[in-house]
Amino acid sequence: MTFEIKNICCIGAGYVGGPTMAVIAEKCPHLNINVVDINQQRIDLWNSNDFSNLPIYEPGLSEIIKKCRNKNLFFSTRIEEQISSADMIFISVNTPTKKKGKGAGRASDLKWVDASARQIAKFAKGHTIIVEKSTLPIKTAETIKKILKTKKKNLNYNSTESIEEKTFEILSNPEFLSEGTAINDLKDPDRILIGGEDNDAIDSLIKIYSHWVEKEKILTTNLWSAELSKLIANAFLAQRISSINSITALCEKTGANISEVSLAIGTDKRIGKHFLNASPGFGGSCFKKDISNLVYICESYGLYETALYWQKVIDINGWQKKRITNIIIEKLFGTISQKKIAILGFSFKANTNDTRESPAIEICKELLEEGCNINIYDPKVNASQIEIDLDQKQTPNSNFDCLEGGWALSESILECVKEADGLVIMTEWQEFKKINWEEVANVMRSPAWLFDTRLISNSKEAEYAGLNVWQLGFAN
Please state, in angstroms and rounded to a whole number, the distance separating the CA atoms of residues 89 and 111: 18
Helices of type H across 370-464: 383-390, 413-417, 437-443, 459-464
Q: Cβ distance 329 to 336 under 8 Å?
A: yes
DSSP string, 73-102: EEEES-HHHHHHT-SEEEE----PBP-SST
Q: Which residues contact 125 (CB under 8 A, 6 or more apart)?
A: 84, 85, 164, 166
How many residues form the binding site for ligand UDX (CB under 6 A)?
19
Q: What is the per-residue binding string for ligand UDX in 319-348, x denoting contact by CB under 6 A?
A: -----------------------------x
Q: Which burial class, exposed, middle or buried, applies to 132 when counting CB atoms under 10 A from its CB (0-12, 13-18, 19+)? A: buried
| Site for ligand ADP, residues 283 to 312, rule: CB under 6 A | 285
What's the Rg (C-alpha) of the chain? Answer: 24
Q: Cβ distance 250 to 264 under 8 Å?
A: no
Active site residues: 286
**Interaction of residue 94 with ligand ADP, rule CB under 6 A:** yes
Q: Cβ distance 275 to 284 under 8 Å?
A: no
Shortest Å, Cβ 85 to ligand ADP: 16
The correct pick among 92, 204, 234, 248 for binding ligand UDX (CB under 6 A) is 234
How far is C-alpha 71 from the chain's CA centre? Answer: 29
If the CB atoms of residues 93 and 417 are measured against ligand ADP, the closer one turns out to be 93
If the CB atoms of residues 16 and 170 are measured against ligand ADP, the closer one turns out to be 16
Please state, in angstroms and rounded to a whole number, the distance separating the CA atoms of residues 372 and 339: 5
Shortest Å, Cβ 277 to ligand UDX: 3
Q: How many residues does the chain have?
A: 476
Q: What is the per-residue binding string for ligand ADP in 61-90, x denoting contact by CB under 6 A?
A: ------------------x-----------
**Interaction of residue 11 with ligand ADP, rule CB under 6 A:** yes
**Interaction of residue 176 with ligand ADP, rule CB under 6 A:** no
The correct pick among 38, 155, 206, 237 for binding ligand UDX (CB under 6 A) is 237
The correct pick among 284, 379, 406, 422 for binding ligand UDX (CB under 6 A) is 284
* Helix pair angle (258-266, 223-254), 10° resolution: 140
Q: Which does 176 bind (CB under 5 to 8 A by kind): ligand UDX, ligand ADP, none?
A: ligand UDX
**Interaction of residue 116 with ligand ADP, rule CB under 6 A:** yes
Q: Which does 116 bind (CB under 5 to 8 A by kind): ligand UDX, ligand ADP, none?
A: ligand ADP
Shortest Å, Cβ 473 to ligand ADP: 30
Please state, in angstroms and rounded to a whole number, the distance separating the CA atoms of residues 131 and 196: 9
Which residues of this protein are in contact with ligand ADP, per CB under 6 A?
11-17, 36-39, 42, 79, 92-94, 112, 115-116, 134, 285
Which residues of this protein are in contact with ligand UDX, per CB under 6 A?
175-179, 234, 237, 241, 275-277, 279, 282-284, 286-287, 348-349
